[in-house]
Chains A and B, each alone.
Chain A
């Protein structure tokens, strides 16, 4: 019994950590710019494939593979800003929310398909993986899962330090609180947007490497974690980072319990029922502030 419980907990915490990383990337962009990045899934996939190329095809060490995924992810974020976001911000503010969503959907499809054309549809093995397990009395903890949790925790600390302690982080938080006031106080809002998208792209890159190390590399790799990350964002309230992490862990544990108890196919629907229940009870999420919109 403890074996089963342990397996469920390990699986739940590992996927929870992965979802948290994906959720933070999404939530950061939403919180500071009111933009829902539908291309996040494709950016996740991109990170996984970049690491694969660097490590397997070029034969470079794993650390450089990680660095490559981070750099390419950040570059993808920057390209997204210059090609799409900057142009849409010039238009009417009220249409930005839906326009940017549709545009990033298009970018996401194009990117996923470009990856499919370059690498082909067959699943590839992500070289970033550690065999074996850590034994502690009756408990067995695979090193792979421990590594993922460790990497995610490190990333969370890095992100919270970057947001809490640096000048850039202060500018991001100011923009998130009130864009106009931040601009009036001399914050270069456009530069903040660029930084946020690059940061989110870098997070997506790492997340993609981690997700693909648990399964395999395939072009639609990012879609499943992203859909779940969306759900977690909504449950937590879009834009709330600590809430997003809490919701990611809670829902991932729930998912792995349901998958064990009722079978794998009910994992996702159970998340959906939680979301609907939460949204009926609190329309702006568990930890979200009810937004007062001026007409």
Chain B
């Protein structure tokens, strides 16, 4: 009887998370029926990609304290691997997605191994250098690998990248409504990523990640295997990031070195920082806020990047825990106000009675 109690009774935060998830699922199903504009739906799909990448970077940085700047490189690796499998071997996109993601995992494990003995900013600098090298090697690739018609094509696609290697099959199946089909696929990908991330964060492995972040020395002394845990978190986050990369390439039917640019990486970091580092819903909140802000700033055109930079700097200074953290402060402040001085008496009175 007592054994089943913790199982059947959910904690309050888990209940809140479940309620939020149900609301979000309902909203996600209702969305395509409410939006007619293809442009908006396209931006929503893009936002879902951002949210997926951001949630995995949050797993790496927010929950495990590893300041890796190779996130977009891993994303690009998954996308490129998928695109290249389809382009060179004529695979179906669906068949190439998981091998592409596994390729990204391997790449990420190598990065993780290189970072294993480093801490803090050294990790950031090394991963930034790795990502930048990957970008430079792709952009400066000019050697002919195969000839497509009369056009020379580089092994890595060069500065142009890959295009026309297949799609998710929604165009043939749904015709004019293909975008809704792609939206559904990407939404499911995002949901699966979130569910899996939740399971990881709440599991003993997630606790180990957090222990290593908060106090590495104590965690290792208590028997947490740093080598194993760090490689594991690099591998797990890379799988979903790489998978998202593959879906990204398939959705846009193109992938190029542009995804490796500094501004893309900064956008992901900004999402997590504005939403709340180390909070489960932070990346999603950050995505909604920043994509909306980005759309609003599109009107003012050239001030977009300037605004983005200032938003990052200001939110670090003004909201170190992000919007989710500020929201938590607000809820606690309201609760304190509502209970007030009389309320606190009521809360305190059962304690002596219990003794």
Q: Interface of A with B (CB < 8 Å)?
A: 30, 36, 83-84, 87-88, 91-92, 95, 97-99, 101-111, 113-114, 117, 223, 227, 230-231, 233-234, 238, 264-265, 268-269, 271-272, 275-276, 279-280, 283-284, 293, 295
Q: Would you call the interface of chain B mostly helix, strand, loop, or mixed?
A: helix
* A285 closest partner in B (C-beta): B122
Closest beta carbon of chain A to B156's beta carbon, Å = 12
Give the CA-CA distance A227 to B131 in the complex, in Å: 11
Which B125-158 residues have a C-beta within 8 angstroms of A? 125-126, 128-130, 132-133, 136-137, 140-141
Closest beta carbon of chain A to B209's beta carbon, Å = 16
What 6 A-B pairs come out closest when comparing CB atoms?
Answer: A106-B312, A110-B309, A109-B309, A106-B313, A103-B316, A265-B140
* B317 closest partner in A (C-beta): A87
B311 touches A230 (CB 8 A): no
* B140 closest partner in A (C-beta): A265
Closest beta carbon of chain A to B126's beta carbon, Å = 7
Chain A residues within 8 Å of B133, by CB: 268-269, 272
Contact of B309 among A108, A234, A265, A280 (CB under 8 A): A108
B121 touches A295 (CB 8 A): no
Chain A residues within 8 Å of B296, by CB: none
B269 touches A117 (CB 8 A): no
* A291 closest partner in B (C-beta): B119
A105 touches B269 (CB 8 A): yes
Task: Convert B112-124 into 0s and 1s, putting 1 for each residue whose CB lies closer than 8 angstroms to a CB of A.
Answer: 0010011011101
Chain A residues within 8 Å of B126, by CB: 234, 275-276, 279
Chain B residues within 8 Å of A114, by CB: 306
Q: Taking A101-B121, A109-B266, A265-B137 as contacts, is the C-beta distance between A276 and B114 under 8 angstroms?
A: yes
Chain A residues within 8 Å of B215, by CB: 295
Assess whether B308 is interfacial by the CB under 8 Å rule: yes
B306 touches A269 (CB 8 A): no
Closest beta carbon of chain B to A112's beta carbon, Å = 8
* 14 A-B pairs whose Cβ atoms sit less than 8 Å apart in the complex: A83-B317, A97-B120, A97-B121, A101-B67, A102-B269, A102-B312, A106-B309, A106-B310, A107-B313, A109-B263, A114-B306, A272-B133, A275-B129, A279-B117
B132 touches A268 (CB 8 A): yes
Give the CA-CA distance A227 to B132 in the complex, in Å: 9
Contact of A113 among B120, B122, B141, B309 (CB under 8 A): B309
Closest beta carbon of chain A to B180's beta carbon, Å = 35
Q: Interface of B with A (CB < 8 Å)?
A: 61, 67, 114, 117-118, 120-122, 124-126, 128-130, 132-133, 136-137, 140-141, 215, 217-218, 262-263, 266, 269-270, 273, 302-303, 305-306, 308-314, 316-317, 320
Closest beta carbon of chain A to B145's beta carbon, Å = 15
* A97 closest partner in B (C-beta): B120
A295 touches B217 (CB 8 A): yes
Chain B residues within 8 Å of A107, by CB: 309, 313
Contact of A36 among B121, B266, B312, B314 (CB under 8 A): B121
Give the CA-CA distance A268 to B117 in the complex, in Å: 23
Give the CA-CA distance A283 to B350 in the complex, in Å: 55
* B270 closest partner in A (C-beta): A106
Closest beta carbon of chain B to A200's beta carbon, Å = 16
Chain A residues within 8 Å of B312, by CB: 102-103, 105-106, 109
A117 touches B303 (CB 8 A): yes
Contact of A103 among B125, B262, B313 (CB under 8 A): B313
Give the CA-CA distance A272 to B73 in the complex, in Å: 15
Chain A residues within 8 Å of B218, by CB: 295
Give the CA-CA distance A92 to B278 in the complex, in Å: 15
Chain B residues within 8 Å of A109, by CB: 263, 266, 305-306, 308-309, 312
B137 touches A269 (CB 8 A): yes
In addition to A104-B313, A113-B306, 16 A-B residue pairs with Cβ atoms within 8 Å of each other are A83-B313, A103-B312, A105-B309, A106-B314, A106-B316, A109-B309, A109-B312, A227-B132, A234-B125, A265-B137, A269-B133, A269-B136, A271-B129, A272-B130, A276-B114, A279-B114
Give the CA-CA distance A230 to B308 in the complex, in Å: 24
Q: Taking A95-B320, A102-B269, A113-B306 as contacts, is the C-beta distance between A234 and B122 under 8 angstroms?
A: yes
Contact of B117 among A92, A101, A223, A280 (CB under 8 A): A280
Give the CA-CA distance A229 to B15 in the complex, in Å: 49
Closest beta carbon of chain B to A289's beta carbon, Å = 14
Give the CA-CA distance A110 to B126 in the complex, in Å: 24
Chain A residues within 8 Å of B114, by CB: 276, 279-280
Give the CA-CA distance A83 to B316 in the complex, in Å: 11
Give the CA-CA distance A155 to B90 in the complex, in Å: 59
A272 touches B118 (CB 8 A): no
* B313 closest partner in A (C-beta): A106
Contact of A88 among B263, B269, B316 (CB under 8 A): B316
Give the CA-CA distance A276 to B124 in the complex, in Å: 13
Give the CA-CA distance A223 to B129 in the complex, in Å: 12
* A273 closest partner in B (C-beta): B133
B316 touches A283 (CB 8 A): no
* B124 closest partner in A (C-beta): A101
Q: Taking A103-B313, A265-B136 as contacts, is the C-beta distance between A230 and B128 under 8 angstroms?
A: yes
Q: Taking A99-B320, A279-B117, A283-B118 as contacts, is the C-beta distance between A230 and B313 under 8 angstroms?
A: no
A88 touches B132 (CB 8 A): no
Q: Taking A269-B137, A276-B114 as contacts, is the C-beta distance between A102 and B122 under 8 angstroms?
A: no
Chain B residues within 8 Å of A271, by CB: 129
* B219 closest partner in A (C-beta): A295
Give the CA-CA distance A65 to B263 in the complex, in Å: 31
* B137 closest partner in A (C-beta): A269
Give the CA-CA distance A97 to B305 in the complex, in Å: 24
A84 touches B263 (CB 8 A): no
B273 touches A102 (CB 8 A): yes
Chain A residues within 8 Å of B67, by CB: 98, 101
Give the CA-CA distance A246 to B350 in the complex, in Å: 69
